[in-house]
Amino acid sequence: MSDKRKKSKFITRDILRESIIESFKKLNPKYMIKNPVMFVVEVGFVITLLLTFCPSLFGDKGSNLRIYNFIVALILFITVLFANFAEAVAEGRGKAQAENLKKMRKDTVAKLLNPDGTTKVINANELKKGDIVLVENGDIIPNDGEVVEGIASVDESAITGESAPVMKERGGDFASVTGGTKVVSDWLKIEITATPGESFLDKMISLVEGASRQKTPNEIALNTVLVSLTIIFLIVIVALYPMANYSGVSIYISTLIALLVCLIPTTIGGLLSAIGIAGMDRVTKFNVIAMSGKAVEACGDIDTMLLDKTGTITFGNRLASDFIPVDDVRKLDLINYSVICSIKDDTPEGKSIVDLARRSEATINEEEYKNLDFIEFTAQTRMSGVDLPDGTAIRKGASDSIRNRIKEMGGIIPDDLDEAVNRVSKLGGTPLVVCVNNKIYGVIYLKDTVKPGLALRFQRLREIGIKTVMCTGDNPLTAATIAKEAGVDEFIAECKPEDKIDAIKREQEQGKLVAMTGDGTNDAPALAQADVGLAMNSGTAAAKEAANMVDLDSDPTKILEVVEIGKQLLITRGALTTFSIANDVAKYFAIIPAIFTVAIPEMQIMNIMRLSTPYSAILSALIFNAIIIPLLIPVAMKGVKYKPMKAEMMLLRNMLIYGGGGVIVPFIGIKVIDMIITPLVRILNIG
């Protein structure tokens, strides 16, 4: 995984203190019943506590039975407390982050712009969607919005953790601003796009506090399995009591409760919520806000990833590198017309064309053309340009779009155009064709660079069964060159927004889950259609609303890390479930011989751990059952170590480590605990 993870202590003193307090608060049966496995343990604690004061309540008799019942009750109470502590620690890390975010929201004021140009200072909570506010150097941006005028540096470190200020200006990818960030130079006029209580900051606070956390489908399914196992063991234990009496075996009720607690999957039952909460917490450490736990979990099941070429696979800073004239056009004429149709183009590509032309000694007066209405590039037309007062129409755009325009206007396609376009495409560049009226003048070579190391990362995804598809507006030749260099599985050339939606639907119709990234309003439908949609924080409000994840760093490649976190979440849950159920084998061999050996000496052969006394065996198994929960909290929070490999290999590896370990560790642990507590059991004369 990348190094973008925020470093933080696993548990601070404040989180520890709050978690201990919360552990006791969560003992409320109304809360505990949400976790049926641990609720059964709590009920067992209440019953054994009653038996401590009334040992003969169910007719049990034995020496120092009151002390034995009290010890069992105490261990059960600690077991519930440890399970609550695991969940409280996971929640506590989120609440600590929420408190820091709340500090940013306090006492923020806004300078509301009146129609006459004057400003009125109001509380940020009074702002409405569509209001225009002025923010100046040192001001906190009061709510989410879009820049409508001005240019300024904005410190987004409170949200993103990135110390370097970000330049915000009207138009382009950096027009969106987030409430709670700070202007550190100049000024901006911002149109508010969120109502109070629904800003991005409000959503972050709600999510990290866990207020909006709902159980995911996989969590619900696993919970159903755990409840089913608990019911089965409960029926077995209830049936065991009369059967034992019939066989002449006397079993204390507290011993039966101990057996039940040891057999039901308390380990995973106590850690299940913590694993889910920690999954969202790990995503947050990568500066990604997940709108639900379901989104994080879906990442682990992703089959196909749709990736934009620009910014994700390439650096996205496509810069003009050369002017290539065609049809015997003078290069200077091509340069001049390229400048005219790019003067008011605010995109990085447009600005780079003007810069290159200036260095190439363009001979036009730029001031003459600055008042012209610029025709912006759209995903549908795939061209931009200007119309001069004398009727001359200058356009630059994708090769096929310009060709179609020329044909419609009755022009002729130059013979050497294909050669120029193919030459640029084979270099992995983007060819922009320039035309004036119905005549093609030449090609602008836009150069981009594939990000290093992507081929290896895509290979890792391929190994775990994830297909990568590159979407690009480039022609098929350029797309094929970039796709080969980057190592993606497939590509969609000359891709329009509707093509992305169609591609997502095709994959989903085959039963596959799809992830994609986007930042523009035209990406919003595809982001909403995808199972995992990762929007850029620098993107439009529509994109962020449609997505179920937002990357605060606006780094499209982050989708690769997010998918790995989703995989890790599912693997962690599966590994700890395997460990928990495997534990039962060792606890079975500890308790069953202890219960029946006195009446049925032949069962001594099952006492393979050679535990000292029946009661030390039962208490040892119970103690191990309790202490394994806090010992596994770091694993639940940090996740099982994840390495990309085929599903069969991963299953075998985890079965050996967590299945085998789940059997071996309790055997060792219970034996060690038995050796430690045996002298105490003898001193107390329990039996």
Q: What is the DSSP string of 590-650?
A: HHHHHHHTTT-GGGGGG-TT--S-HHHHHHHHHHHHHHHHHHHHHHHHH--------HHHH
Same domain, 53 and 89: yes
Q: Is 345 annotated as a binding residue?
A: yes
Q: How confident is the model at residue 394 (pLDDT cuts 50, 70, 90)?
A: very high
How many domains in the chain? 4
Same domain, 494 and 572: no
Average pLDDT over residues 250-268: 88
Quote the Cα angle for 634-638-639, to 5°.
105
One of 139, 155, 281, 308 is an active-site residue; which one?
A: 308
SS3 254: helix
Same domain, 354 and 222: no
Average pLDDT over residues 89-114: 71
Question: Does residue 319 belong to any structural domain of this protein?
Answer: no
Q: Is 459 annotated as a binding residue?
A: no
pLDDT given at position 211:
41
Distance CA 554, CA 176 (A): 12
Residues sharing a CB contact under 8 Å with residue 509, sequence separation 6 or more, in sequence order = none
pLDDT given at position 375:
92
* CATH number of 169's domain: 2.70.150.10
Q: How confident is the model at residue 173 (pLDDT cuts 50, 70, 90)?
A: low
For residue 255, CA distances in Å to 43, 82, 202, 259, 595 come to: 14, 21, 50, 6, 8
SS3 656: helix
Burial label, 47 (beta-carbon count in 10 A; 0-12, 13-18, 19+): buried
pLDDT given at position 462:
86
Same domain, 549 and 612: no
Q: Quick check: is 308 catalytic?
A: yes
Question: Does residue 72 belong to any structural domain of this protein?
Answer: yes
Average pLDDT, the chain: 83
SS (H, E, C) 32-60: HCCCHHHHHHHHHHHHHHHHHHCCCCCCC
Same domain, 439 and 576: no
Same domain, 668 and 572: yes
Q: Is the pLDDT of residue 93 over 70?
A: no
Q: How confident is the model at residue 595 (pLDDT cuts 50, 70, 90)?
A: confident
pLDDT given at position 99:
66
Phi, psi of 493 (to 5 degrees): -85, 160
Q: How confident is the model at residue 60 (pLDDT cuts 50, 70, 90)?
A: low
Which of 64-68, 103-107, 497-501, 559-563 is least confident? Answer: 103-107
Q: Is 612 annotated as a binding residue?
A: no
pLDDT given at position 103:
61
Q: Is 523 annotated as a binding residue?
A: yes
Which of 171-180, 364-373, 529-538, 571-580 is least confident? Answer: 171-180
Q: How confident is the model at residue 336 (pLDDT cuts 50, 70, 90)?
A: very high
Q: Is 383 annotated as a binding residue?
A: yes
pLDDT given at position 397:
93
Same domain, 575 and 676: yes
Average pLDDT over residues 155-178: 71
Residue where a domain stops, chosen among 413, 429, 445 = 445
Q: What is the extent of the structural domain holding 505?
A: 303-314+450-563
pLDDT given at position 489:
93
Q: Is the pLDDT of residue 144 over 80?
A: yes
SS3 432: strand
pLDDT given at position 329:
93
pLDDT given at position 3:
44
Question: Does residue 56 belong to any structural domain of this protein?
Answer: yes
Residue where a domain stops, chosen among 547, 563, 579 = 563
Q: How many CB atoms lie within 10 A of CB 647?
A: 9
pLDDT given at position 418:
92
Same domain, 217 and 184: no
Distance CA 584, CA 586 (A): 6
pTM of the model: 0.69
DSSP notation for 581-595 = HHHHHHHHHHHHHHH
Q: Which of 51, 418, 17, 405 is nearest to 253 (CA)?
A: 51
Q: Is 396 annotated as a binding residue?
A: yes
Same domain, 551 and 636: no
Q: Up-side HSE of residue 134: CA atoms within 13 Å toward CB?
A: 13
Question: Does residue 413 belong to any structural domain of this protein?
Answer: yes
Which of 67-81, 210-224, 466-480 is least confident? Answer: 210-224
Question: Does residue 187 belong to any structural domain of this protein?
Answer: yes
pLDDT given at position 673:
93
Q: How confident is the model at residue 59 (pLDDT cuts 50, 70, 90)?
A: low
Same domain, 189 and 255: no
* CATH number of 376's domain: 3.40.1110.10
Which amino acid is present at 216? Answer: T
Q: 668 or 15: which carries more pLDDT confidence?
A: 668
Q: Is 379 annotated as a binding residue?
A: yes
Which of 374-378, 601-605, 674-678 is least confident? Answer: 601-605
- Do the strands 393-397 and 430-436 form a parallel or antiparallel pair, or are they unpaired? antiparallel
Same domain, 231 and 90: yes
Q: Is 480 annotated as a binding residue?
A: no
Question: Does residue 82 belong to any structural domain of this protein?
Answer: yes
What would the two tokens of residue 482 be?
A: 């970039």
Q: Is 519 annotated as a binding residue?
A: yes
Q: Which of 572, 565, 574 is nearest to 640 (CA)?
A: 572
Phi, psi of 119 (to 5 degrees): -115, 150
pLDDT given at position 215:
66
pLDDT given at position 158:
63
Residue where a domain stops, chosen among 387, 410, 445 = 445
Distance CA 440, CA 334 (A): 9
Answer for the pair 65, 47: CB distance below 8 angstroms, yes or no: no
pLDDT given at position 337:
94
Same domain, 268 and 336: no
Q: How confident is the model at residue 212 (pLDDT cuts 50, 70, 90)?
A: very low
Question: Does residue 200 belong to any structural domain of this protein?
Answer: no
**Most confident among 87-101, 182-196, 598-612 (mean pLDDT):** 182-196
Question: Does residue 546 belong to any structural domain of this protein?
Answer: yes
